[in-house]
Amino acid sequence: LYELLREKLLTQSLLHADETAYRVLENDTSLTYYWTFLSGKQATQPITLYHHDQRRSGLAVQEFLGEYDGYVHCDMWSAYR
């Protein structure tokens, strides 16, 4: 189901993206990240996907988006460049 929703999401011309850190098991050094990718307001069937990755780097974004060639609305975090 996740992959089907991801494929549908990546057909849209505009996406929104953001990431947030999440501390694992209350450990001070074990951070993981949840990336949120969602469709724009124009979507007739809105989609929101939460993608878990231990990296906050651009590789996490590149792997999720693949060959996506639309617009991504996001903050100025360098991972999105």
- Domains of the chain (ranges, CATH numbers): 2-80 (3.30.720)
The token pair at 8 is 């549908």
Confidence (pLDDT) at 81: 64
The token pair at 78 is 């360098």
Convert 28-64 to b/e letters by CB count within 10 Å (16 or more is b).
Answer: eeeeebebebbbeeeeeeeeebebebeebeeebbeeb
Would the pLDDT of 8 be above 90? yes
Would the pLDDT of 32 be above 80? yes
Confidence (pLDDT) at 69: 94
Number of neighbours of residue 15 by Cβ within 10 angstroms: 22
Q: Which residue has the higher pLDDT, 57 or 73?
A: 73
Nearest to 56 by CA among 20, 24, 17, 81: 20
